[in-house]
Structure 1
Amino acid sequence: MLNMLIVDDESFVIEGLKHAVDWSLYGIRIAGEANNGAEALELLDMLDKPIDIIMTDVRMPIMDGFGLIERLNERGHRCKIIVLTGHEEFDYAKKAIRYRIFEYLLKPVTLDKIEDTVSRLAAEFREENEKQRRLHDMEKKLLQSLPLLEERFYFNLLSGIYQQDMQTLLGIKLDAAAFQTIIVQIDNLKPTGSGAVHTADDERQRQLLSLTVQHMVSVSLAERLPLPFSVVAFNSTDFVLLLQHQAALPPGSEGDGLQQPFSAIQELVQRETGLTVSFAIGRAYDSLQRVAKSFHEAQEALKHKLYYGNSCIVSYSDIEVNQGHYLDSFRQAKDQLVDAIQIRDAKLSTQVLSTIQSTLEKEKKYGIPYIRTLSMELVLIASLVLHEKGDHLADICPGHPDLLGEVQQLGTVADIFDTLRETYTAIIQHYEHKGASRNRDIIHFVRTYMAEHLDQEIKLDDLAQLVYLTPNYLGYLFKESVGMGFSSYLMQLRMEHAKTLLTKPGSRIYEVAASVGYKNAHYFSKIFKEYTGVTPSEY
């Protein structure tokens, strides 16, 4: 309940105000009364509950209404003021504006005028309380989301999106002459020696081991490397180190000084956990905007673990000068296979693989070792895309638990590419099913959010941010799922809810308008008539 104090030097006025209005209907309780400003101030000091509203006369003995208001301002009181006066004087009106008085009522005031004023005042309190509640909820969610926001900042940075405002908000310090990324990959989650086996199905154990290794690497690296660095968890087996160099590095020297600490860490991890880790080193660059390039290079270096084996340390600077002809062959086709998985186009993957097969079979210049290497790389491409999405090839294609080994054993190009086509098709079908389910969940969330926030401004752009989609794509999904555009659906939702509210006894048009998100009651009436064919009052 809101607490109100009535201040007037005429007792009959106070009694009239107390009994003329059913204050409880507006959530208001008469907490006290005073005959002048001085008494009101004394009463405010005595009351154990804060006063939210003061209804005061202007001309009173000892201390008038504006004297009271001045003292309230000096004390920092934030209560709402309604001024009652029998004198329509310009100076009073100016003071009312200066002190931001809620309403200035001229006696004799009608009951309708009082009720209208109180109704608006109560509505303003409700709106302010709701704003405070939303602000508190936002602050609470922000505090809870800080780790997630920090993780997303680094993910975006690795993807080529540098958000300086987000960096400032989160207090992330990245001040260096050069930035360098290193991917640390847990080669497997099984001990390499004898003993208990940690299976891939035991996800909880996988996560625990991954966190253990990440902690060991972070602590050990901090002891061995005199550089600031950040750790970004990428998936259950990979995490990224972002090194901050205080001086620029000469080209080709990015791996210098890292081999020894990385080797020591590999020995420590294997000794303590039985696991092996590999390091893939990107080059160092002089700006945060180029961190993504360093990360891409580290990813390219990591692919060469295929040739170096587990527990390796691979630098992009080393592999760049050793790229053989076979790595450049079919480069466009390989990019198209990545695209096929990303856009879920099984026809494209089948077409690309068939084209590669046809070329290999027609042009006999490619030797068996190259074909074996190429087939392994095509498997690796699919596996890397799955890793980026947090999935594993063996889970999606259980019929091929060791696809790399399998393609090495197949005797013909046709057999190899039949297996590859089957694999890519299975992967794409998996994501088609997964994507359809996710889209349904997204649209359900959006529709629920709209229904629960009709009294607020609702924008497609804001909703798109909430579900991490572009506005255009969310709009497309929404229309495809609901059968009408976002704006049309929102208007229908508002109007149907307005129709329901208008049928309730005592409903006021401006209140209904506010409840369905229209600040301007006249504009609401116009839209309502366009929608229903009648005005709100006729309805």
Structure 2
Amino acid sequence: MYKLLIVDDEPMTREYIKLFVGGLHQEWICAGEASDGQEALEVLAAAGEDFDLVMTDIKMPVMDGLELAKELSARRSKPRMVILSGYDEFALAKEAMRYGVNEYMLKPLVKEELVAVLDRMARELAAERAEQAAYLSLSEQSREQVARNFLHAVVTDNHMEIKVLYPLLHRLKINLLEAEGAVLLVDLDEGQLLERGIAPSDQALYRYIVHQTAAELAEENPGIILFADHKQRTALLVPGEDGDDVALRCAALFAKLSQAVLGMTGLGLWGAAGSAELDILQLGASYRSARSAMKGRLLEEEHRLLPPVGPGSDDGAKLLEAAKEACRGATIGGHGREAALLAALQPLMPPAGSWSRRSALRLGVYLLRSLAEEDRPAAARAIALLVRPESAADRYGPEAFAKLLAAALASMREQAQTGTSGHSAGAGEPEHETVTKMKAYIHAHYAEPISLALIADKMGLSPGYLSSLFHQNTGESYIKYLTRVRMERAAQLLQAKPPEKVYDVAEKVGYLSVKHFSYVFKQHFGTPPGEYQMSR
């Protein structure tokens, strides 16, 4: 049975619908009535908002139907609505349609028209419930796959998938974060694999072992989600109570994983934890910081969890870029190319004064592949020269390593091309107008699962360009602006009279989890929402 709430200041109208609705349509029952919009809101609150349809008059004292429609439209979980009005109230009814009203009926009510509306509402509700049941019937494995696909889309900047999967997370009530979380990235040592003579075709097997071992550990730790990045490296979302807790959990998980992999394969593991983030859409930033930190393995000898790369701590990255430029020059040729290569490699030399074969292979493979870019055959030919037995040595000084690398570079027949590209606003609208539209959309839809990809799609612009444009014009990221809008609205709701429940406020500003909302609120205002409400 579907439940109807009739809202009308005319007792005769309410009585008519109460008495005859069951006979007019067997799937409907009039489960409540109210004489104005304010009373209707109270009835909805008392019943846990468990009504399928609100049928309301447009003109009523205290709160009219238009105000009621506006109030209900702002709620995530809202009943369907039918507006009742006279001929002279059509302008008001038309305005009410802006708030998501489903039907408009003229008074006095005609029985056949009322039956048709009730039948149409019942069929639409049945379809919605069938769709919801299909989602809820998904197995736990299927729900986990949705979460993995979403995380993969976030770290690979696949905005099309984000646009589809982000609302789906909300519909399935899949909550990935209660407070903060970070991406933990792990990978085998390719230098060690090559040193042991493991062919590239066989390396996939060892990475599969790492992935499966990580999957077993993830099952033992609720909240941790396993996925893979675009290079098929194992990645894990590690949630925690705050940034420090996330870091501790990443370290503990990596220790268990690396020990297990070492015991099974004899191979070492590198790991890097990204920045702790408050929002799942910011996990791409966490992944990028982990990916940057992972480059630290090229300057290390011993396998370990690499520290995060903070602001101003990119000296290693600069040295690697200098080495890549020197390698690029060596492939072109010209006077002094080998001397320039040697000069660029020397700052990368480990404290021992020379590279182990494993470290030399690791660094050499990185440099060759970064130059070859998409030309994999060229990189493969160069790497084959790097690992040939006659080139093997226990350790390499700077001159020996430069010579070995120069020989591999000389085999690369095609010069890796580099270039830059950008997005220009062209002859379109001024940038500030685009940002204004973005802000307007955020203010209108902050309670929904909106993402940058969704907004970009609506505006016909690329997400990357829109993100850069927004930051340039506002001085803050899109996600920080959205969070601030949500938090400021939450503060207003918490100060409302009568006071709103914290869990209701959390839902109204777009959070699936009350715990996550409370955490973000405390981070923003310095006090939990309950205490904030009591202090006002």
Q: TM-score range by the shorter chain?
A: 0.3 to 0.5
The answer to which structure, 1 or 2, has the higher relative contact order (CA under 8 A, 6+ apart) is: 2
In terms of Rg, which structure is larger? Answer: 1
Query: What is the TM-score of this pair, normalised by structure 2?
Result: 0.37
Query: What is the TM-score of this pair, normalised by structure 1?
Result: 0.37
